Amino acid sequence: MEKVGIGIIGCGNISGAYLKAMAGFDILDIRGVADLNQAAAEAKAAEFSVPVSTIDTLMADPKVEIILNLTIPRAHVEVGLKALAAGKHAYSEKPLGINFAEGKKLAEAAENAGLRIGAAPDTFLGGGHQTARKVVDSGALGLAVGGTASFMRPGHESWHPNPDFYYDIGGGPMLDMGPYYITDLVNLFGPVRKVAGFATMLRKERTITSEPRRGETISVKVPTHIAGVLSFENGAVVQVTMSFDVAGHKHLPIEVYGTEGTLLVPDPNFFKGPVSLLKKGGDFEDYPVDQPYADGNYRSIGLADMAYAIRNNRPHRANGELALHVLEVMEAFERAAETGRTVEISTSVRRPAPLSESLVNGVLGK
């Protein structure tokens, strides 16, 4: 099968994980890496033995079919629109955009151009989450009741070398971590119908405790603790908390409840993790994780799936419709907090097909 040319724009902290994982997918042909900071692009190219390029060169390269957009969230739509204008498909790091309006603009531009867009997270394609999906699809949980989704940490300034954008417009725990949790829930339950929520910003400044900027103070411009409820089209009701303000807790990342059982889902920030199932009247038991991509960091499998989808003329899983729906849901938490009202979600989306439908000899291959 002919490889798909990839041009990577953005050589920041996350790019290393992508470049490392991309080497495991034969369908991907890295045509070059580029960044506004040329030194960063050159360093990343040297580290992973890939070509260094410029943004304009990648946009003009006829062998580049997909632009992988690893820029900061505030630049995701801008770069995506440029890629579409250059005749390229566009796949970005999460979120699709920093608000629903600009995400919708990108989706409309892709539709008008007859091109694809996609976005992380793709962790829901990992073996742990695909196994959880298999349990849900089997009917073992009975009727969908609800669940909980919890991400609560003190904040990224304790580990990230440049945490400013986590607290700037387009940042915050919902736009940063919410995509993992809400995408995984949509993969399990389907689309969200309504959102209720509250949001707080307890501190206007944060002190960096990581190197090399330890001691510097950064401004906070977004809510840092968000809690609310998702009402799904299938009737499930899920409690959600995303926070950069909590010192510690004992909640599991995701629990899913049904009338006949309860499912403990792996951390959606990772591809792997244990799956546990309780059947009514029994105890929790480990459920065998029998789906591939459960033994490492495959952060680019969504891109590879998109490449195979292009070659095989099928829908890709980490697609624009899914990313736009998740973006609208995330924004709805803050809208609900501001208005004091439940927010109706205008978009809907089909659950992505199980990854098993595209496996060849146990790996993604069609």
CA angle 272, 273, 275 (to 5 degrees): 125
35 forms beta bridges with none
Instruction: Name the token pair of 350.
Output: 């089909």
Respond yes or no on whether the N-terminal peptide bond of residue 173 is cis (omega within 30° of 0).
Answer: no
Determine the Cα–Cα distance for residues 359 and 366; give it in Å rounded to an integer: 7
> Residue 170 pLDDT > 90, yes or no?
no
Determine the Cα–Cα distance for residues 223 and 66; give it in Å rounded to an integer: 34
> Does one domain contain both 235 and 249?
yes
Of 109, 113, 102, 60, nearest in space to 77 by CA:
102
Helices 301-312 and 15-22 pack at an angle, to 10 degrees, of 50
Last residue in a domain, options 287, 307, 336:
287
- Contact (CB, 8 A) for 300 and 22: yes
The CATH code of the domain that includes 29 is 3.40.50.720
> Does one domain contain both 71 and 150?
no
Sign of the dihedral defined by the CA atoms of residues 154, 157, 159, 165, in that order:
positive
Helices 100-113 and 76-85 pack at an angle, to 10 degrees, of 10
> Does one domain contain both 26 and 135?
no
277 domain-assigned? yes
pLDDT digits (tens, 9 = 90+) for 30-72: 999 999 999 999 999 999 999 999 999 999 999 999 999 999 9
The residue-averaged pLDDT of 100-118 equals: 98
Dihedral Cα 149, 12, 8, 95, nearest 10 deg: 30
326 domain-assigned? no
The residue-averaged pLDDT of 264-273 equals: 98
293 domain-assigned? no
Identity (one letter) of the amino acid at 222?
V
pLDDT digits (tens, 9 = 90+) for 332-344: 999 999 999 999 9
pTM here is: 0.96
Residue 37 belongs to domain spanning: 4-123+298-320+347-364
If you compute the radius of gyration of the chain from its CA atoms, what whole number of angstroms results? 20
> Does one domain contain both 303 and 255?
no
> Does one domain contain both 116 and 132?
no
The residue-averaged pLDDT of 84-111 equals: 97
> Does one domain contain both 141 and 282?
yes
The residue-averaged pLDDT of 94-115 equals: 97
Domain count, the chain: 2
> Residue 269 pLDDT > 90, yes or no?
yes
Of 23, 22, 27, nearest in space to 366 by CA:
27
**Distance from chain centroid for Cα 185:** 12
Mean pLDDT across the chain = 97
> Does one domain contain both 262 and 203?
yes
12 domain-assigned? yes
Say whether 302 sits in a helix, a strand or coil.
helix
Of 223, 228, 235, nearest in space to 259 by CA:
235
> Does one domain contain both 158 and 86?
no
334 domain-assigned? no
High-pLDDT (> 90) share of the chain, %: 98
> Does one domain contain both 147 and 58?
no
327 domain-assigned? no
- Contact (CB, 8 A) for 366 and 308: yes
pLDDT at 337: 96
Determine the Cα–Cα distance for residues 102 and 97; give it in Å rounded to an integer: 6
Last residue in a domain, options 244, 264, 287:
287
pLDDT digits (tens, 9 = 90+) for 216-226: 999 999 999 99
Determine the Cα–Cα distance for residues 177 and 308; give it in Å rounded to an integer: 27
174 domain-assigned? yes
Determine the Cα–Cα distance for residues 311 and 2; give it in Å rounded to an integer: 8
42 domain-assigned? yes
Determine the Cα–Cα distance for residues 157 and 206; give it in Å rounded to an integer: 8
> Does one domain contain both 101 and 149?
no
Last residue in a domain, options 287, 312, 329:
287
> Does one domain contain both 175 and 261?
yes
> Residue 174 pLDDT > 90, yes or no?
yes
Q: Which residue has the tokens 């989306």?
A: 349
DSSP, res 352: P
Dihedral Cα 164, 17, 291, 330, nearest 10 deg: 20
* Number of helices and strands in the chain (H, E): 9, 18
Determine the Cα–Cα distance for residues 13 and 165; give it in Å rounded to an integer: 12
> Does one domain contain both 166 and 278?
yes
The CATH code of the domain that includes 203 is 3.30.360.10
